[in-house]
A and B are shown apart, each in its own frame.
Chain A
Amino acid sequence: MSKAIIDIRDLSVGFTARAGHTQEVLKSVSVSVKAGETIGIVGESGSGKSTLALASMGYMKPGLRKLKGDVLFEGQEVFEQSLRQLEGMRGGKLGLIPQSSGQALTPTMRIGKQVTEALKLHCSLSAAECASRAEELLNQVRLPDVPAIMKRFPHELSGGQQQRVAIAMALAGEPDALVLDEPTTGLDVTTQKQILELVQDLAKERNMAMMLVSHDLGVIARCCHRVAVMYHGEIVLEGPAKDVLKKPKHEYAKKLIDAVPRIQKVNAKAKKAAPASSEALNLEDVGICYTQPGFWEKTFSNAEPRELTVDGINISLGKGKTIGLVGESGSGKSTILRAIAGLLPAQKGKIRVGGDTLLKPTIDRRRPEELRRVQMIFQNPDDSLNPRHTVAEILAQPLQLYFGKTGQAARNRAAELLETVRLTPAYLDRLPRQMSGGEKQRVAIARAFAAEPEIVLCDEITSALDVSVQASVLELLADLKNEKQTSYVFVGHDLAVVQQLSDQVMVLRHGRVCEAGPVDQVYATPQSDYTKMLFDAVLEPEKA
């Protein structure tokens, strides 16, 4: 058995919460990884997984300190090394691929210079050799047109390209081990797949040890030989990937793995389409331009027709049904929602609600009754709830606006609404910051339903939530739909989540419809190449 490259033993890390009281972030964590092996560290937000990853490089965020234990890299205790030794190790034998390279690359330095800098620090090469080696590395991470890319600044690259540059920098010192801190979070599924493939190929080629931190069990399953599940600063379960993911022997780990939504196998013709209900929402050949001309453009520029961001959208949605809009970033799915809500004007086409009422393009031209019928729920509840208002005040707003309810009447109704989203009236006097992410999103849902809407627009409403919370929110939405016969337009990037809730699905790419139809049909027999590619890029825990 070969020796461990990174060996963390009984590590505790904490910070001083108030005088004389230490709050532990990591509690007696032990984990190790050998050459050629990849270990996945999985956990929800606040589990301490990123702290663990950075600690393995002898780094801690300001305020944190090591309480006990050892962190050994190739047999050396990293926290006892001199600054000079640490500088040699970091980026040399031990490389990091950070969470969001968009933020991790220095904005004022050209790509070429940043990669060359890493080379100069860790290899004894001449300037000319460094330049050619940098080019070689960027080629290795499969970037196109490397000489041009080297001259660019980080913000001129796409998210995937930035991540490739970060990988190239990590490889500069010929590392024995890589630490990957949520390396694909925020990337589209197809890009994510390419990046993970690249990392895996490189690891195999160089026989590197890898420590991969992620909240995404699919990513972990795709790459890791062994998996450690973290919960509240502790590793609650660790073992070979297959054992951990397929037969988890720990309560929390099992819950976590079960909560991951999976695409259900369906037969296209198994279910006959439900009897057609009356139409709730109809979009007829809608085209939208995302960038609105500003004052100056309107006044002075020769009004050149702008290209429509989104075009050719036709939707017919029955009462109590859901349509899922799927696509990668920039596909225009949120733009469609905003046009239905009236936040953006539709340049062409018609939007009808309840079969007959034609919605005016923007909110300031719609009547209150029309506005009431369409409500929207946003992605991030931290952003969609006014931090200065209590829950009672938040819920009172639509009640007052649409039904004229104020005072005790509004408060009683708000309490009822809380119960429909499975919260107790005890939440009425809380401020958003006194609630968890899942609770906040429930309040946001309650606020939408306070208007007794016919159509609810859901914009990636579970993607800011942890998986276990996501599952319960999705369940709530399904229950509400059945109770109130509300129709949903559900925007998401997670195919499994969309499938769970939708009756129809529309796949979008660059603002155009790629494929649309009943959800079972599209999921069973995708027609377009793009849809097939999307399905192909989906990572699930079972695919270990």
Chain B
Amino acid sequence: MTDAFTNRASDRPSALVRWAQVLRDLVRRPSGAIGVFLVGVHVIVAIISPWIVPYEFTTMDSSIILAAPDAAHWLGTDALGRDVLTRVLLGGREALWVCFLAIPLTMIWGGLMGVYLGLRGGWVDEVAMRLVDAFLALPGILPLMVFVFVFGAGNEVLIPTLAFFFGIPVIRVARGATHDVVARDYVLAARARGHSRASIMRRELLPNTLDVMMVEGAMRLSWMLLTFSSLSFLGFGVTPPTPDWGQMISEARVYMSLAPWGVLGPMIALSSLIIGVNLTADALAKTLGIDRTRKAVV
């Protein structure tokens, strides 16, 4: 009875092993490799940029307003004579910081809520879903603008607000994924044995909805970055003079006919980040065998 197999440690590494395998398969896909590379570059730049930027991001020089790119200012200067390259290198830090913190919160609150409602059913589910429907009917970006307008654009406002509103559609997705799992016999078997709801959620539902949630999280991250930069573009984001791509594009657009380089830098930086996240999400979905395009966009 005490052979090699019976004595193996029962806290298994199998979930970790599996995700390591998923990651390997992910980067073997061309889209996954490009996506992970783009995101990686952006994360690294965001971390080290304060030490590598050529100028202070607040340094203004009225003698070189809207100057074309040259050896001293590789991407030219903006309307206040600030170095564009410096501001492009620093301009993703806020977006990445806010979204990377808000996404886990989004997935935890939306995911747990959705899984719970999917298992619970009954009137609690019915009432909660009506509220979810009502929140989904609100015009997307408006509640965020109102919150920022009233409470300011600090991270302590943005992170919970983004997490709350992005979590609402996640509830729906998690609930749907849970309904698929709840119909399986292994959940029925656990119910028949008399496991508690919490135990069924933890042991049967969460592990089996995790794949859908990971893909959903990656996809929501790309949308959140998009929303963050849109808010910033509309003037509801980062407070100046902190550089941010959306805001930079908004400012530089005015002088576009004179100095098109002012918009190109932040546009390429922002687009490459969001495309990178999206390619990663797509490749992750394919690796895990989840067709994310079939889900209607909510």
**Complex: A in contact with B (CB within 8 Å):** yes
A383 part of interface (Cβ distance < 8 Å): yes
Cα–Cα, bound, A378→B191 (Å): 13
B52, CB-defined interface residue at 8 Å: no
**Which residues does chain A contribute within 8 Å of B190, judged by CB atoms?**
397
Tell me whether B186 and A412 are in contact (CB under 8 A): no
Task: State whether B1 touches A343 (Cβ < 8 A).
Answer: no
Chain B 162-195 near chain A by CB (<8 Å), digits 1 or 0: 0000000000000000000000111011111111
A398 contacts B203, C-beta separation under 8 Å: no
> Which of A299, A375, A386, A447 has most chain B Cβ within 10 Å?
A386
Evaluate whether A386 and B207 lie within 8 angstroms (CB atoms) in the complex, with A295-B126, A392-B10, A412-B1 already known.
yes
The residue that B1 contacts in the complex, of A372, A390, A415, with Cβ under 8 A, is: A415
Task: Return A445 CB to nearest CB of chain B, in Å.
Answer: 12
Is A378 within 8 A of B6, CB to CB?
A: no
- Determine which of A368, A383, A401, A415 lies in contact with B184 in the assembled complex, contact meaning CB atoms within 8 Å: A383
Which of A343, A384, A415 makes the CB contact (< 8 A) with B5?
Answer: A415
A411 with B10, Cβ < 8 A, contacts A343-B191, A378-B188, A425-B3 known:
yes
Q: Which one, A43-51, A148-156, A205-213, A426-434, is touching chain B?
A: A426-434
Q: Which residues of A contact B208 (CB under 8 A)?
A: 386-388
The proximity string for A residues 369-381 relative to B, scoring 1 for CB distances below 8 Å and 0 otherwise, is 0011001101110
- Complex Cα spacing A415 to B208, Å: 25
Q: Does B294 contact A (CB under 8 A)?
A: no
Question: Is A431 within 8 A of B192, CB to CB?
Answer: no
Q: How many residues of A contact B (CB 8 A)?
A: 45
Query: Are B186's CB and A386's CB within 8 A?
Result: yes
Considering the chains assembled together, what is the distance between the CA atoms of A332 and B185 in angstroms?
18
Of the residues A299, A343, A401, A428, contact of B6 by C-beta under 8 Å: A428
> B10, A408: Cβ atoms under 8 Å?
yes
Instruction: State which of A371, A383, A425, A429 has its C-beta within 8 Å of the C-beta of B186.
Output: A383
Interface contact A429-B8, CB-CB below 8 Å: yes
A residues 412-453 near B (Cβ < 8 Å) are 412, 415-416, 424-426, 428-429, 431, 447, 451
Quick check: B15 and A388 within 8 Å, CB to CB? yes
A342–B192 contact, CB under 8 A? yes
Q: Is A249 an interface residue (CB 8 A)?
A: no
CB of A366 closer than 8 Å to a CB of B:
yes
The tally of residues in B whose CB lies under 8 Å from a CB in A reads 31
- Give every chain A residue within 8 A of B207 (Cβ-Cβ): 386, 388-389
| Interface core residue of B3, B186, B188, B204 (most chain A CB under 10 Å) | B186
Evaluate contact between B10 and A407: CB separation under 8 angstroms: yes
The answer, yes or no, to whether A341 is at the interface (CB within 8 Å) is yes
Report if A401-B189 is in contact (Cβ < 8 Å); known contacts: A386-B208, A390-B14, A429-B8. no
B14:A363 contact, CB within 8 angstroms: no
Set of chain A residues within 8 Å of B189, measured between Cβ atoms: 376, 378, 384, 447
Which residues from B are CB-within-8-Å of A401? 193-195
B-side contacts of A366, CB under 8 Å: 194
B12 on interface, CB distance cutoff 8 Å: yes
- Distance A345 CA – B78 CA, assembled complex (angstroms): 73
> For window 27-52 of chain A, which residues contact chain B by CB distance below 8 Å?
none
Residue of B nearest to A363 (CB): B194
Tell yes or no: A385 within 8 A of B by CB. yes
Residue pair B193, A398 in contact (C-beta under 8 Å): yes
Q: Which single residue of chain A is at the shortest CB-CB distance from B181?
A: A386
Distance between B202 CB and nearest chain A CB, rounded to angstroms: 11
A479 to B15, CA, bound (A): 36
The smallest C-beta distance from A396 to any residue of chain B, in angstroms, reads 8
Q: What is the chain B residue whose CB lies nearest that of A402?
A: B193
Decide: A429 near B195, CB < 8 A? Known: A376-B189, A384-B189: no
Taking a contact as CB atoms under 8 Å apart, the answer to whether B6 and A412 are in contact is: yes
Q: A378: which of B125, B185, B195 is its contact (CB, 8 Å)? A: B185
Distance in Å from the Cβ of B64 to the closest Cβ of chain A? 57
Q: Which residue of A lies closest to B208 (CB)?
A: A388
Complexed CA–CA distance, A412 and B3 (Å): 10
A76 CB to closest chain B CB, in angstroms?
A: 40
Q: How far is the CA of A378 from the CA of B189 in the complex (A)?
A: 8
Shortest distance from the beta carbon of B44 to any chain A beta carbon, whole Å: 33
Closest Cβ of chain A: how far from B22's Cβ, in Å? Answer: 13
Is A376 a contact partner of B192 (Cβ separation < 8 A)?
Answer: yes
- List the B residue with the shortest CB-CB distance to A340: B192
Residues of chain A lying within 8 A (CB to CB) of residue B194: 363, 366, 368, 371-372, 401
Residues of A214-266 at the interface with B, using a CB-CB cut-off of 8 Å, are none
Closest residue to A450 on the B side, CB-wise? B193
Give residues of chain B (117-157) contacting chain A, Cβ–Cβ below 8 Å: 121-123, 125-126
Q: How far is the CA of A387 from the CA of B180 in the complex (A)?
A: 14
Question: Closest A-chain residue to B207, C-beta based?
Answer: A388
- Within the assembled complex, what's the spacing in Å between the Cα atoms of A376 and B193? 8
CA distance A363 to B196 in the complex (A): 11
Nearest CB on A from B19, distance (A): 12
Neighbouring B residues of A431 by C-beta, 8 Å? 14
A401–B189 alpha-carbon span in the complex (Å): 13
Q: How far is the CA of A299 from the CA of B122 in the complex (A)?
A: 11
* CB proximity of B26 to chain A, nearest CB, Å: 19
Given contact pairs A295-B123, A343-B192, A411-B7, enumerate 10 new A-B contacts (beta carbons under 8 Å): A378-B189, A384-B184, A389-B203, A392-B12, A398-B193, A401-B195, A408-B7, A415-B6, A429-B14, A451-B193
Q: Which 5 A-B pairs have the closest CB atoms?
A: A371-B194, A384-B185, A388-B207, A383-B185, A425-B5
